[in-house]
A and B are shown apart, each in its own frame.
Chain A
Amino acid sequence: DAGVIQSPRHEVTEMGQEVTLRCKPISGHDYLFWYRQTMMRGLELLIYFNNNVPIDDSGMPEDRFSAKMPNASFSTLKIQPSEPRDSAVYFCASSFYPGELFFGEGSRLTVL
């Protein structure tokens, strides 16, 4: 069975551009999480969904960030407009319950 699938694996963009990161969770998992990893702050939870409904978005840094989960098999994290300080690795994870998470390979974002 395929794991959590994220795309793109790498994204390089210019400041001000819109960035969309995509995630396909493991089939049957009820929870989906978006994390951001930076050297300074480590792994931070941005938002998580349960049964496609956003439960806690308190980790979303600013209004420039938005996340959606239109169905059980797809989620997006959008940054508009992007800034250099958004450069990080963004991970999507899914689980049956919010404990043992299964992570994707991450999307490395570089904003110039």
Chain B
Amino acid sequence: DQQVKQNSPSLSVQEGRISILNCDYTNSMFDYFLWYKKYPAEGPTFLISISSIKDKNEDGRFTVFLNKSAKHLSLHIVPSQPGDSAVYFCTGAGSYQLTFGKGTKLSVIP
């Protein structure tokens, strides 16, 4: 039972354009959400988070949107840069645990 779903395993975007990574969740008990970024042969690193009481959080080129009624969140990267090429994990947090999606591999093409 996947509580956090990232339905797109991969995404390719041209440098300078917007990247939109999507995530759906089923667990209503998640009280905040995080995005992690992972480069090959490295551990995931925290990117941005959002509390369940908000619908938007912005940090530089990265913005996360949360639609609680649809149980959907998205990560926007604008403008996309080649260094953003990585696997992005959507994560739901609740009851002192994180539940990770399977990740979306983003490739930003120069």
Q: A99-B34, A100-B49 are in contact. Are A105 and B41 (CB under 8 A)?
A: yes
**Within the complex, what minimum Cβ distance (angstroms) separates B4 from chain A?**
9
B residues apposed to A, CB below 8 Å = 32, 34, 36, 41-46, 49, 89, 93, 96-103
B96 near A55 (CB under 8 angstroms)? yes
Cα A110 to Cα B81 with chains together (Å): 34
**Within the complex, what minimum Cβ distance (angstroms) separates B64 from chain A?**
14
Which parts of A82-97 form the interface with B (CB within 8 Å)?
A: 91, 93
- State which of B41, B43, B49, B101 has its C-beta within 8 Å of the C-beta of A4: B43
B46 near A100 (CB under 8 angstroms)? yes
At the interface, is chain A mostly helix, strand, loop or mixed? strand
Q: Count A-B pairs with CB separation below 8 Å.
A: 55
Interface size on A, residues (CB 8 A): 24
A98 near B43 (CB under 8 angstroms)? no
Cα A9 to Cα B97 with chains together (Å): 25
Question: What are the residues of chain A within 8 A of B36 when measuring CB–CB?
Answer: 101
Given A42-B101, A99-B32, A106-B41, 15 extra CB contacts under 8 A: A42-B89, A42-B102, A42-B103, A43-B44, A43-B102, A50-B96, A56-B97, A93-B43, A99-B34, A99-B98, A100-B34, A100-B46, A101-B36, A104-B43, A106-B42
Question: What are the residues of chain B within 8 A of A42 when measuring CB–CB?
Answer: 89, 100-103
**Within the complex, what minimum Cβ distance (angstroms) separates B60 from chain A?**
17
CB-nearest residue of chain A to B101: A42
Cα A94 to Cα B36 with chains together (Å): 14
B43 near A45 (CB under 8 angstroms)? no
- State which of B93, B97, B99, B101 has its C-beta within 8 Å of the C-beta of A48: B97
**Within the complex, what minimum Cβ distance (angstroms) separates B1 from chain A?**
12
Cα A35 to Cα B102 with chains together (Å): 13
Question: What are the residues of chain A within 8 A of B34 when measuring CB–CB?
Answer: 99-100
